[in-house]
């Protein structure tokens, strides 16, 4: 994911959560992630200089990781 940073990005040494917090985008990301709005998630991640491949990985984690608070529980 580090290779997708924009040159001289102020977020280059930060995790995704750190980037979102620093940019004041945690709430916007949470809202999109809880409803699995992939387009909105990508839009928010682009604001913190994450490219498409990194966004794909974040979305995959949001939807499928057992550690994701955004994952929809199966009944």
For 57-69, the pLDDT digits (tens) are 999 999 999 999 9
Domain range summary for the chain, segments of one domain joined by +: 14-64
Q: Comparing C-alpha atoms, which of 24, 23, 19, 21 is closest to residue 2?
A: 19
* pTM score, whole prediction: 0.86
State the burial class of residue 27 (Cβ atoms within 10 Å of its Cβ: 0-12, 13-18, 19+): exposed
73 against 27, higher pLDDT: 27
Q: What is the mean pLDDT of residues 42-67?
A: 96
| CA 19-17-61 angle, 5° bins | 125
Instruction: Give the largest Cα separation in the chain, rounded.
Output: 45
């Amino acid at each position: 994911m580090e290779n997708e940073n924009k040159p001289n990005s102020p977020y280059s040494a930060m995790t995704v959560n750190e980037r979102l917090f620093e940019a004041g985008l945690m709430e916007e990301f949470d809202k999109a992630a809880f409803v699995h709005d992939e387009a909105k998630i990508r839009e928010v991640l682009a604001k913190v200089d994450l490219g498409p491949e990194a966004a794909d990985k974040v979305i995959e984690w949001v939807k499928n990781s057992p550690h994701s608070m955004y994952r929809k529980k199966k009944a």
